[in-house]
A and B are shown apart, each in its own frame.
Chain A
Amino acid sequence: MPLNIWRFASPQAFYSLAGKLVPWFFVAAALLGAAGLYVGFFVAPTDAQQGDAYRIIFIHVAAAWMSMFIYTVMAFWCAVGLIVNTRLSFMMALALAPTGALMTFIALWTGALWGKPTWGAWWVWDARLTSELILLFLYVGFMSLHAAIDDVRRADRAAALLALVGAINVPIIYFSVKWWNTLHQGASVSLTRAPSMARAMLLGMLLVALAAWMYSIAASLMRVRLLILERESDSDWVRTIARKEAVK
């Protein structure tokens, strides 16, 4: 029997599917995370130039990759929502945003924690860090716009349009900031010049990145389930669930 995936475009069907998947993703995240951090903190060799302080890079790089990846996925769902007008697409985008913002925030903090012992400053106007900061603004802007509009449908569509405008701008912004940075840097070194990769370091980074990905999926699925319940609260199937919960 062919699997009809379009069935899952209905919030009710997706709600139960997501509910079954969430625990698996959390487990995967925990396992990969443990493995990655073990490799990162114990197995990978101490760097010749930066000592042990560089180990924060395992988290920093994973968080930075995820922050950009999530924005792309978010923009994708926004585009789908605007073109096909499915409610679930907008909900998925809205569910992804807070996790994406969290990843960006982690990337910024770990970047600062790396910078201090390595270059002596908590913040350097490095191209990647500055772009991460701007990405944080884009996430916050998306969530703020959605929160500020009362009509949920209009909020969905307006925020979706904003996300797409942001998506077009992100490469332009990154290119501009990179250019600006190289012009003004002078002799100082940038954070983008990571220590040359030993295989163990690369493995560690990959594992933590995968862990972050699994976590993001789990967190977003949980959030989208909440959104589904909230928005479909008038429908029978949600009322049934609410009644069951009340009885417990």
Chain B
Amino acid sequence: MTSAGHPRRGLAGVFAAVVRRDLLLALRRRSDVLTTFFFFIVVVSLFPLGIGPEIDTLRAIAPGVVWVAALLASMLALARLFADDYADGTLEQLALAPQPLLVLVLGKIVAHWLVTGVPLVLIAPLLGLQCDLPAAALQVMMLSLLLGTPVLSMIGAVGAALTLGVRGAGGLLALLVLPLYIPVLIFGAGAVSASAVGMDVGGHLSVLAAIFLIALVFAPWATAAAVRIALE
């Protein structure tokens, strides 16, 4: 058995393999994915029950409610991003791959977002409809979540890596990550609110896009550093 003649994969190939593996794992553990999804729906539904069915009130709070629920659901899903790999030893093998760890980590984040973020983007308009948001606002809601949920995954990944194997990781992760989510929340919910009253949303969405780019530059690198610290 010789391996000398095997073709080598480049960085893109390894990135794709990491994404594919995580998607395959998510497919096999569908219950985990669905739990996050239904958590989101339940949380959004709790607010009208707590506040009252007055439609004008609901229309006003809907952007904030949907966004806060998205934050919480995203955080719930984050706990699983690295924890399993850390426990069974695959994370350290990933760190030993002869590729930049930040690219491989980005692969895991992308897979995570596809599985937990995209469903939120797709279902949120339905929930907004329950609160009688106008169609234009629903579109902006989808767009803001589309820009915002990847940022939540990226920032959250740093927190998930920092709290690997730590006692009380779930609550600690919330404490570390929720304050960092605040800018995304402000501009994401702000965009939807602005759209609901007919104001211009260009500014909000531009800031969200800027935050997305900043996160893309810094978060994978910080996450890789945090993973290495956790593996020591």
Asked whether any CB of A lies within 8 Å of a CB of B in the complex, the reply is yes
Complex Cα–Cα for A180 and B190 (A): 8
| CB-nearest residue of chain A to B185 | A176
Task: Judge whether A144 and B175 touch: CB under 8 Å.
Answer: yes
Chain A proximity of B164: nearest CB distance (Å): 9
Cβ-based interface call for B142 (8 A): no
Complex: A183 Cα to B186 Cα, angstroms: 11
Asked whether any CB of chain A lies closer than 8 Å to the CB of B146, the reply is no
Q: Do B180 and A165 touch (CB < 8 A)?
A: yes
- A69 interfacial by beta-carbon distance below 8 Å: no
Q: Which residues of B contact A145 (CB under 8 A)?
A: 162-163, 166, 172, 176
Which residues of chain A (73-101) have a CB below 8 Å from chain B?
none
**Which one of B163, B186, B225 lies within 8 Å of A177 (CB-CB)?**
B186
Stretch at the interface among A7-15, A167-175, A221-229: A167-175
**Structural contact, A168 and B218, CB atoms closer than 8 A:** yes
Q: Which residues of A contact B230 (CB under 8 A)?
A: 154, 158
Q: Per-residue 0/1 for B202-214: is the Cβ within 8 Å of any A Cβ (1 yes, 0 no)? A: 0000010001001
Interface of B is mostly: helix
In the complex, which residues of chain B have a beta carbon less than 8 angstroms from the beta carbon of A166?
A: 179-180
User: Does B5 count as interface, using CB distance less than 8 angstroms?
Assistant: no
Cβ-defined contact, B172 with A173, below 8 A: no
Q: A176 near B222 (CB under 8 angstroms)?
A: no
Q: Is B179 a contact of A138 with CB atoms below 8 Å?
A: yes
Q: By the criterion CB–CB under 8 Å, are B229 and A161 in contact? A: yes
Task: Decide: A172 near B175, CB < 8 A? Known: A145-B162, A161-B229, A180-B190.
Answer: no
Interface residues of B in 212-227 (CB under 8 A from A): 214, 218, 222, 225-226
B182 within 8 A of A: yes
Residues of chain B within 8 A (CB-CB) of A179 are 186
CB atoms of B176 and A149 under 8 A apart: no
Q: Is the CB of A161 within 8 A of B225?
A: yes
User: Does B182 lie within 8 Å of A141, measured CB to CB?
Assistant: no
Choice from A141, A157, A168, A177 contacting B176 with Cβ under 8 Å = A141
**Interfacial chain A residues near B169, Cβ < 8 Å:** 148
A244 to B: closest C-beta gap in Å: 36
| Cβ < 8 Å to A, chain B residues 155-177 | 158, 162-163, 166-169, 172, 175-176
Q: Check: B113 CB closer than 8 A to any chain A CB.
A: no
Asked if A165 meets B158 with Cβ closer than 8 Å, knowing A154-B232, A157-B229, A158-B226, the reply is yes
Check B187 for interface membership: any CB of A closer than 8 A: yes
A154 CB to nearest chain B CB (Å): 6
Q: Which residues of A contact B175 (CB under 8 A)?
A: 137, 140-141, 144
- Select which of B162, B179, B183, B207 is within 8 A of A161 by beta carbon: B162
Partner of A169 from the list B180, B187, B226 (CB cut-off 8 Å) is B180
Question: Are B163 and A183 in contact, CB atoms less than 8 angstroms apart?
Answer: no
Residues of A within 8 A of B180 (CB): 165-166, 169, 173
Query: 1/0 contact trace for B125-165 toward A, CB 8 Å?
Result: 00000000000000000000000000000000010001100
Which parts of A159-204 form the interface with B (CB within 8 Å)? 161-162, 164-166, 168-169, 172-173, 175-177, 179-180, 183
- Please give the distance in Å from A148's CB to the nearest CB on chain B: 5
Complex: chain A residue closest to B174, CB-CB? A141
Beyond A134-B179, A172-B183, whether A148 also contacts B232 by CB under 8 A is no
B166 with A162: CB separation less than 8 A = no
Given that A161-B222, A165-B222 are known contacts, is A148 also in contact with B163, CB under 8 Å in the complex? Answer: yes
- Whether A183 and B162, one on each chain, are in contact in the complex, defined by CB atoms closer than 8 angstroms, is no
Q: Kindly identify which residue among B176, B178, B186 contacts A180, using a CB–CB cutoff of 8 Å.
A: B186
Taking a contact as CB atoms under 8 Å apart, the answer to whether A148 and B167 are in contact is: yes
Given A161-B222, A165-B158, check contact A148 B166 (CB 8 Å).
yes
- Write out the residue numbers on chain A whose beta carbons fall within 8 Å of the beta carbon of B211: 172
Known: A161-B158, A173-B179. 16 other contacts (CB 8 A): A134-B182, A141-B172, A141-B175, A144-B175, A148-B172, A154-B230, A158-B162, A161-B225, A161-B229, A162-B162, A169-B180, A172-B211, A172-B214, A176-B183, A180-B190, A183-B190
| Top 5 A-B pairs, shortest CB-CB distance | A176-B183, A137-B179, A176-B186, A141-B176, A180-B186
Subset of 6 A-B contacts with CB under 8 Å: A148-B167, A157-B232, A158-B229, A164-B222, A165-B158, A166-B180
